[in-house]
């Protein structure tokens, strides 16, 4: 209702009404799971002929058109910061203005060569900052890794300070070592004994960096199953590659997939597989409460998602 008060030159309008509905804004996890779907067929290939072939096939009707960041913004519902974080987590390169997913196998190989370069060329050893330009140049000279790709990886796995040729890179060694471990586990077709797996991991990262190896760095990417006796003469676990990134983002479907994989879960193991679909610990605990049809004994959860 609109009322007019007084007849002065500057009349006052009073607008009154009743509130019939209150909307509350609550945090939500951005749904970015379709990022790679939109970029399918645009993966980066470490081969100069890849670009030459792409440029020469302009008239090929089967040629997949590459997407720019602005084009992706128009089809993905997320803020700029959420989209940037999503691209980082999905390991998507922005090369020449187009978005190129970096294959995980290539990422693992580049990270291994990165550690080898640090260890063999006299560069400062982390946690000391590393001259970024010198690192990138050394890796290009020795392993022919695209400098633009290397700079993306430096951003994903550390912090860059300074400007121009004086830029320094503070490496996140836990993230690098963990990614290499996930890459090794991804290649294993069958469950692998933990002791054997750790030995492979040590070989890949080199003696200088074995101190950073920790199974918890693989959280959210594997299932562990106890075994009483191993070829090493002691009890251990087998590790099976099981990435949460491959699971549905819908809570009900996520729980269905988890309980089809394993009928009983430890609460701490279950929590790890909910981190990417819950905004905080409170939300994660609520999801776990809904998921539990029956609580056998702490800390074991058994059941399926309760509607």
Per-position pLDDT tens, the chain of length 307:
555 555 555 567 766 667 677 766 656 666 677 788 889 889 998 765 455 555 555 555 445 678 999 999 998 888 889 899 999 999 999 998 999 999 999 999 999 999 999 999 999 999 999 999 999 999 999 999 999 999 999 999 999 999 999 999 999 999 999 999 999 999 998 999 999 999 999 999 999 999 999 999 999 999 999 987 656 567 789 999 999 999 998 888 999 999 999 988 888 899 999 999 988 888 888 888 877 654 444 444 555 443 3
Q: How many CA atoms lie within 13 A of 192 on its CB side?
A: 19
Assess if residue 201 is contained within a domain. Answer: no
| Cα–Cα distance for residue pair 215/98, rounded to 1 Å | 36
In a domain, residue 192? The reply is: no
Whether residues 129 and 74 share a domain: the answer is: no
Examine residue 24 and state whether it is found in any structural domain, yes or no.
no
| Residue 116 sits in the same domain as residue 74 | no
User: Domain of 272?
Assistant: 247-307
Q: Is residue 109 part of a domain?
A: yes
Vertex 296 angle, CA 291 and 300, to 5°: 65
| Same domain, yes or no: 278 and 254 | yes
Domain boundary among 124, 150, 171: 171
Domain count, the chain: 3
Q: What are phi and psi of 106, to 5 degrees?
A: -65, -40
> Which one of 171, 194, 227 terminates a domain?
171
| Alpha-carbon gap, residue 281 to 277, rounded angstroms | 11
Q: Domain ends where: 101, 116, 147?
A: 101
In a domain, 240, yes or no: no
């Amino acid at each position: 209702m609109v009322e007019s008060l007084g007849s002065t030159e500057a009349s006052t309008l009073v607008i009154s009404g009743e509130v019939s509905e209150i909307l509350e804004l609550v945090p939500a996890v951005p749904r970015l799971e379709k990022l790679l779907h939109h970029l399918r067929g645009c993966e980066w290939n470490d081969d100069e002929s890849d670009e030459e072939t792409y440029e020469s096939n302009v008239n090929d009707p089967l040629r997949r058109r590459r997407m720019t960041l602005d084009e992706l913004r128009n089809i993905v519902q997320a803020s700029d910061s959420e989209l940037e974080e999503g691209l980082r987590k999905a390991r998507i390169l922005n090369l020449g203005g187009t978005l190129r997913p970096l294959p995980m196998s290539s990422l693992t190989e580049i990270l291994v060569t990165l550690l080898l370069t640090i260890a063999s060329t006299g560069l400062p050893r982390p946690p000391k900052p590393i001259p970024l330009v010198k690192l990138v140049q050394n890796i290009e000279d020795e392993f022919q890794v695209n400098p633009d790709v290397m700079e993306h990886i430096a951003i994903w796995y550390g912090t860059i300070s300074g400007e121009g040729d004086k830029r320094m890179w503070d490496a996140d060694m836990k993230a690098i070592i963990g990614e290499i471990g996930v890459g090794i586990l991804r290649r294993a077709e069958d469950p692998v004994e933990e002791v054997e797996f750790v030995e492979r991991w040590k070989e890949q990262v080199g003696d200088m960096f074995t101190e950073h190896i920790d199974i918890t760095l693989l959280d959210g990417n594997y299932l562990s199953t106890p075994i009483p006796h191993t070829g090493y003469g002691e009890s251990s676990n087998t590790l099976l590659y099981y990435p949460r990134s491959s699971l549905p983002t819908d809570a009900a479907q996520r729980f269905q997939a988890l309980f089809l994989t394993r009928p009983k879960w430890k609460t701490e193991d279950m929590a790890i597989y909910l981190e990417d679909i819950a905004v905080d610990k409170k939300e994660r605990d609520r999801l776990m409460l809904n998921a539990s049809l029956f609580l056998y004994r702490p800390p074991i959860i058994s059941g399926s998602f309760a509607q």
